Structures are given as C-alpha cells and as structure tokens.
Structure 1
C-alpha cells in the first residue's frame, strides 16, 4: 500500500505534465509571471491533446517531442511578431510573492481535505463513470492510441467497424492522455496516478487559473493575489463536488481551465485592469483554452461562451458610445445575429442531440434552487454528504455581488450561471433543455460553473470588508474567514469525497462496490495465468471489467455502458454454451476471447443491465471450460475451444 509520502513524487510528476509544456509556450510567446503560470495548464492540456489526435504512437518520447515542437513553432512565430506583440513585462516581484503566499494555505488545507477524504492515495473510486475513466487509461497504455477521436470504443472488438462518422467514437480524452503520461513516467498504478492527477488539478491548476482571472479583474493588486488562492478551494461545488459526483474527472480538468478562458475574454473586451496578457495574445490564447476544453470536456466551451456574454455586451456598449449611431447599431446587430445563429446550430444539430436530451429530472422547487445558489450548496437529486450551506463564504460573495458596479461582468456571469442551475434543478423541461442541454441538463455541472465567478466575487467582498473596517485589516480578515469556515470547510469537503469512494475499512459505499480487497488479490493472483494478448470475458457489473485497470488484462466489456458490437452481445448471451454452440468458439477465437472471469459485486444490485449477460454466468461443469483458479465465488475459466 502506497503511503502519502511515497505518493508525493507521483503528484509532482502530474504537476509537471500539467504545467511544463504550457510554460514553454507561455514564456515563448512573451507572457511572464502570473499570466504565464495561469495560462500554462490550458496550453499544456491543448498541446498534449493535439499531439494525441495526430495519430502518433503514444509514449513519453513521442508526447514530449510533440509538445516541444509545438512550443518551438509558436515561440518562433511570436519572435517574428515581436514588434507588434512585445513581451509583456512581469508584475512586480511582490505581486507574485503575494500570490504564492496565498497558495500555501490553499495547498495545506486542500491537501488535508484530500487525505481525509481519500484516506489512502491509491483509493479506488467505485462508481459508474470511474470504470470508463480507469479503463480508458489502460486502453491507451496497451494500444499506444491516445486519440480522442477513437476513445469512446476503448478498442472493444467490432466497435470501430460498426460506428461511422467523424465523431462516431469521439470522447474527450485529455484527462486520460495526461494520466497515462503519469503512469508511463512513474510506473504508478492507474488508480494512484488518477488520484494524484485529481489532486494536481484541484490544488494547482484550479488556483492558478483563478489567480489569472483575479489578476485581470483586480490588476497587480497584492491583496487580491494573496486572497485568491484560499478562496478558490473554499467552494464545495467545485472542485470538491466533481470528485464526489460521477466521478467527473474530465470535467474537473476542463472546468479548472475556465477562469483562464474568461480572463482572455476580459482582455479581448478591454475590461482587464492593467492587462497582463494583451489583446493580440488573448485572441490566440482564448483559442488555446477552447481547444483544451474541447478535448477535456466539451461542455466547458459552452460555459466560457455563457460567461463571455456580459463582457462582450459591455464592450459593445462602450464601443457604441464612441461610434455613429448607425455604425453602432450595425455592430450590435451583427453580434446578436452571430450569437443567435450559433445557438440555433447547437440547439438543432444531431451531433449534440443525445447530450441535449439527457434525462436528468428536476428535483426541487425554484425557490429551493435559488436558496442553494445563494448558500453555495448546489447539489443534485440525491443530496450528497458535505454539500452543506456555506454561510460565511456565501455572505462574503454577496458582499462582492453588492459591488456590482465595479465588476458587472462578474455579477452578470454569476447571474447567468445561477439561472441555468435553477432551470436544470427546478424545471428541466424540453424547452429549458434548449438552454441547459449542453451540460447534459445536469444541475451538478451547472452548479459547479457558478464557482468560476463566485471566487473573484468572494475576493472582491473580502477586500471591501477589509477596507470598510480598517482596524480589521486583510490578514486578520483572512484568518477570521478561515477560522469561521473551519478551515475553508475542510470537514464538508472531506465528507463529500468519502461519499463516492469506498470506505477503506468496510469496503463499501452508498451504492455498493465493484471490487473489494479479496477481489483485488484474486486479480493479482490470476494475472500470470492470462496471456498479455488475451481478452477476458465477464459481466462488467460483477466487477470483472476492472481486471484491465488492476491487473493489466484486457476485458471484453471495458465499461458498464459504452459503444458495443454484435459480437460482444452474442458472446454475452451464449459464451457458457461454448461446448455445445460452435459459433461461440468461432467468434471467441476470431476476436481473441480465451477466458471467462466470474466476479463478486454489490454495485447497483437492482439495475436491470446486470441481467443482460446470461452467457457469462458460471458454467460450472459444462463442457468447453477449464477452471484455472477460484476463491469462493471468484473464478477464472479458460475456454477449451481447440
């Protein structure tokens, strides 16, 4: 069992992959200080993702070289444009020092939250979504294919031939690409690398992105930089909620980049205070953030578009005051037409039909939903432990909202995000899905997006309180906030993390488990009995699908619900008839299925999907199978088809 101390080097490797490629690009195009470090994660995600979709054989060398080439190309381009885009001067050293000082308590409190919530660094998340995310990393490691354009099939036999179209097998794979690089660099297990990536995104990427947004909103103000880091880890809905619900690791990565995207919008719209990026670079970097979002979790691009509505409107209004009336009206009409046309396209395109109509039901009244927004307790239909009202922090946010004349772009974005959450949580009808469908009509995701503007509003509120009460002072105000929130709600957040993970002592959670300690030991025991190139059949709902993640042996059904093929379903219904049905052996031999694994699971025991795999029931003494290993109900059979 890996200790937290032993996991630190793996965590540092995750941080390096999330920052180093992007820092090369950011410094190469002339950014410095907070602007460079806040931009780096989005640039790194975009570079790694683009490298993956080029079709190169995935490895440390190929990924690293691809990132170096991209950084070099944009550095040369920036050098060529240096006269028009001179390097941005770094802020005074005191600004960076203040930002770093604010990050230290955020790292300490966030690290404590992770340790209490995860309990052990290699803790397995026993959730529906986690199966896909774990096995996606296993697929990349086995196949050398990290492209988002083919990820949805996870290499399942016959799927690629059955699914057609440019986006037929598309699944945003940035999270899995980066996690696979951590595994390749360190040799860590997939669950351990996944947890370290989650910590790195939550405690490094997200605060840095928030710092960049705060830098654009407040300028090079040391007080704002000192406050932002701590404020960024105080909201349960994000990042902690995405580690509890789902789990939504790809969305965690994507949404952590959104503040950087909004920072670029402010620069483009001329709303940044003492702009640290510059309008020319902001156009390019906004594209980088959108590419990163597309390959991390596509709905974050819609989030950035929504948050851009008010800044763009403010910029157009200011410009209209400087132009002749006819010219101003024309520009505003063009902007409105472009926006409406884009919305009509995404609201009607078949490419997003399945996403738009995702059936999340409404679960509360509009008044309750508004109350959850005001108290930063946005949650889903089944209240999650830890998603409690954040009274103190919410009061600080409300102070920031009351200062709306100073930051109307933030308050406007907050209001739109809150409105979308209320629609999803309280109504969720066919008409409201035209607005909320791009986030799967999911209140969890929409509630988390509120945090993007809530963090700088909390910073504004805290700075105002410190100015309003001079005797208090900002340091005392910060200490008081941490104390009154009991360490920025460490207990709340740890409880949220525990909810969806497996209790290290009891081996179970609120939804049952896929594998327990005995199953993990059995997987380790049977691994040498299974050739590396063999495919193992098994009912994914009995935990057998995690053999790929935990023992590096490929499974016929790599997920509980993803793209499938007729050959998979034929074997799912008939495999235990191998001794009497010749077609079973023909199909199994053709695609490489040579083993049957019988698992033991309590996960979602009443779900009807578990019953679709009658052919994977224990064959017992039936002909066509030879028992290789057993531990109680856990069994491994070899098909005797020769």
Structure 2
C-alpha cells in the first residue's frame, strides 16, 4: 500500500526522485500525489522561518513536524524492509496512514506562518498611517497609494480580518477539493466497487427481511460481507478480518459449508443461530490467502443443502437446510 514497493519493468524505481517527491509532498501539504495546497505551502515555509527564529521556545513543534515528515518520507519512498519496520512498526508502515497524520503536525507550523503574515500586514498598515504626505511621496507607487488612504484604526483591524478570511477561503482549494473528489469516487457504489458493489448492496438490503432478529450471518469480511451488521442490522459471525474467535465460531468459519456431512457443524450452527451466509464470491478487498475456508464450497456452488433467499447476479444470501 505504498509507492516505494511498486515499480514498472524489471528494474526498481530510482529512489532519489521518490525521496525528492516525498519531501515536496510534505512541504506542499500534498501527500500521496494530491494537488499541492499552495496557500498552506507558503504558510508552512513562513512558519518554519518563524520557528527557526524562536527555536528555544518552539523546538518541540519543529521536532513533532520533523518526526512526522521523516516517517512519511521513509515509508513513502523507501522499499519495504527491516529499516522501515524498525522505524515505524507494523501499523504505521503504510504511507496512507502517515499521510493522514501529516496535517496534524503541519497545521501548527502553518498557524505560525499565518500569524506572522497577519501581524506584518497590521504593522505595515499602522506604519503607513503615521507617515506624513512628504514621506508617503518617497515610497514606491503601490505603497504610496496605501499611505494616502490613511485607514482609521477600525478599518485597519477589519482589513486584517479580511486577509484572514481570504487565507481561509484560499486554503479550501487545491488538495481539499481533490481529496473530496477522490473520496467520492472511492466510496461510490458501482458494479466494480472493491468492498461492496451494486449487486452485493442489493442483497444486503434484503437481509433484514430474510434473517430474523438474533440471527447470525456467516460471511467473509474480506468480501464486504461483515457489513451486514452496519447495513442490515444483523450480527456477523466474523465482524472483522482479525479477532479472537471462539472454538465454535472458528469451526463455522472453517467448515460452515460442510453442514450436510460434517457432524460437528450443525451443533455449532444451532448453538450460534448461524444458519445464514452471504456469498459474495472470491474477490477480496485486499489480496490475501483465504482465512475463511468454510465458505469455499459455497462460492464454488458445490455446497449441498443450500437454500437461496436473495440474489443479485452472483451475490447471494443463502440458508443451510442441513440442520433443520
């Protein structure tokens, strides 16, 4: 799940351009190749300048930023290996997760930059207001025009707030708008959706009418079947890919589709009230070895004593009749 482990052709990508790109993404608040947030980039650079001048008081903010930046740069540009794992552990050995943390360490820096910019603007307006007409004429034409305005104190305060508002509005473009578009495309339900596609959603929407309250649904969470709890209000036998399983739960996850001929399965089905299963095929949201072999025959269409309760193309909600 990162760029560093991907490549084209027979040779690996040169690490130097990847490192440089990662640094640019950090400074530009544009992780994972998103559009550079130019307003935030400028404020971040100014903020780093301010912190460098006040390092005795703000060293910890800079340290937090550098740690986050280092982790992101390593994970997004170094190939997987001992160094990466030693530095970030298992969970944060994923550039997407570290990209989500970058705003947390970048925002304080950008705030320092914005504060410096606003105070400099206010100081400039106050300075221009004190100039005499003769002094104002000696300034460059653009500055002389501001000096001639002679803004009163309330107007100067309002102008500062206007600048703050403009910075806030400008910061909404770039990365934010692109991220919104990406999220919309990622989470849109279509015929080719990774976790739950249109057919699977149609089946899930029928579950509450087919499975009684208290019924437990067997399914492979890697195919999105565990969303039966969120979308249909029925308990999933395996609500997550990982987790502690009881002996009976593990038995069903390994052998549910053998109920017709495996004498150990039906007692567990009756005990857990797990007569139902979702067959969402073999396509999983991440490539992995199947940790739920108890649905393999069901997906292959060879499991005996199966009653189909709802279907949409290849997605099915079924019930075993072997334990009636």
Q: Report SS of the residue matched to 1:596.
A: strand
**Correspondence for 1:545 among 212, 226, 244:** 226
| Residue 370 (1) aligns with residue 56 (2) | no
With over 3 angstroms needed to count, the CA separation of the structure-2 counterparts of 1:629 and 1:420, relative to structure 1, is closer
| Residue 556 (1) aligns with residue 259 (2) | no
1:574–1:616 CA contact under 8 A, matched in 2: no
2:30–2:175 CA contact under 8 A, matched in 1: no
| Residue 410 (1) aligns with residue 96 (2) | no
Matches within 5 A, 1:343-422: 362-363=4-5, 365-379=18-32, 383=33, 387-404=34-51, 405-406=53-54, 407-422=58-73
| Residue 583 (1) aligns with residue 264 (2) | yes
Q: Report SS of the residue matched to 2:239.
A: coil
Q: Distance in 1 between matches of 2:302 and 2:40?
A: 59
2:225–2:280 CA contact under 8 A, matched in 1: yes
**Correspondence for 1:441 among 85, 93, 98:** 93
**Correspondence for 1:614 among 275, 296, 305:** 296
- Residues 346-368 of structure 1 show CA distances to partners (whole Å, capped at 9, x for unaligned) of xxxxxxxxxxxxx9784553322
Instruction: Name the counterpart of 1:497.
Output: 183
- Report which of the two has the higher share of helix: 1
Instruction: Name the counterpart of 1:249.
Output: none
Question: CA RMSD, aligned part only?
Answer: 3.4
2:26–2:69 CA contact under 8 A, matched in 1: yes
Structure number with greater CO (CA < 8 Å, separation at least 6) is: 1
1:575–1:615 CA contact under 8 A, matched in 2: no
Matches within 5 A, 1:174-323: none
Q: Distance in 1 between matches of 2:233 and 2:274?
A: 15
- Residues 24-64 of structure 1 show CA distances to partners (whole Å, capped at 9, x for unaligned) of xxxxxxxxxxxxxxxxxxxxxxxxxxxxxxxxxxxxxxxxx
Q: Report SS of the residue matched to 2:36.
A: coil
Q: Distance in 2 between matches of 1:584 and 1:541?
A: 23
**Correspondence for 1:481 among 167, 181, 197:** 167
Q: Distance in 1 between matches of 2:303 and 2:4?
A: 50
Q: Report SS of the residue matched to 1:609.
A: coil
| Residue 527 (1) aligns with residue 208 (2) | yes
TM-score, normalised relative to structure 2: 0.68
TM-score, normalised relative to structure 1: 0.37
Q: Aligned-pair distance for 1:594?
A: 1.7
Q: Aligned-pair distance for 1:543?
A: 3.5
Instruction: Name the counterpart of 1:636.
Output: 318
Q: Report SS of the residue matched to 1:403.
A: helix
Which ranges in structure 1 are unaligned for 5 or more consecutive residues?
Answer: 1-358
User: Bigger shift: 541-550 or 610-619?
Assistant: 610-619
Q: Distance in 2 between matches of 1:490 and 1:372?
A: 14
1:397–1:461 CA contact under 8 A, matched in 2: yes
Q: Distance in 2 between matches of 1:540 and 1:525?
A: 18
**Correspondence for 1:466 among 110, 115, 118:** 118
Which ranges in structure 2 are unaligned for 5 or more consecutive residues?
Answer: 6-14, 126-155
Instruction: Name the counterpart of 1:593.
Output: 274
Paired residues, number: 272
Q: Aligned-pair distance for 1:460?
A: 2.0
1:462–1:477 CA contact under 8 A, matched in 2: no
With over 3 angstroms needed to count, the CA separation of the structure-2 counterparts of 1:389 and 1:438, relative to structure 1, is same
